[in-house]
Amino acid sequence: MLLYRIEKCEYRSIYPPLGSKFSDGRWSTKAMWVVYTSENIALAKLETLANSGHKVPKDRFLLVLELREDAPLLEIKESDLPASWAGSPYPKVLASIVKGVMGTGQFVGAIVPSAQSPREKNILLFPGFEGFEHYVKKVDEVEEYFDPRLK
């Protein structure tokens, strides 16, 4: 399965991405090493737009990852989450749920619904998982353009 992440060009030399270690997100807190990816490019763009403030993102690249079909993943369904899961500010329990999944040491990642489009999925990858490199491979990275009309 191919996964997609849009990242700032200034971080192109860093793999796996480290961003989650420095700021809180919907599914993680500072110091949790989680790589947020999406199941398709359009969703990755939508997620990037949702997190870019009022500016159209510039100087971005698309990171393409391949996740082996036998990779151990846990799916967290919308029905497993509190009613406010997609709201802002993020319910802190979401990061606790993911931290619990990471803590088992059984999963290379978790499948979660997207707050931008709940019928679509984001895949949270855990680079600290033993054997991460066996299940996740960097396939490509290409410049990614955002049309200024998007904001």
DSSP state of 92: T
Question: Residue 90 and residue 105: Cα distance in Å, rounded?
Answer: 25
pLDDT at 19: 87
- Structural domains in the chain (count): 1
Peptide bond into 16 cis (omega under 30): yes
pLDDT at 151: 74
Total length of the chain: 151
Question: Residue 116 and residue 128: Cα distance in Å, rounded?
Answer: 27
Residue 69 located in a structural domain: yes
Residue 128 located in a structural domain: yes
Which residue type occupies 103?
G
Residue 151 located in a structural domain: no
Residue 111 located in a structural domain: yes
pTM: 0.95
Q: Give per-residue pLDDT as tens, 15-36.
A: 999 988 989 999 999 989 999 9
Residue 114 located in a structural domain: yes
8 Å CB contact between 129 and 108:
yes
Residue 18 lies in domain: 2-146
Q: How many CA atoms lie within 13 A of 120 on its CB side?
A: 17
Q: How many CA atoms lie within 13 A of 71 on its CB side?
A: 29
Residue 95 located in a structural domain: yes
Beta partners for residue 65, in sequence order: 3, 138
Q: Which stretches in the chain have pLDDT values below 50?
A: none
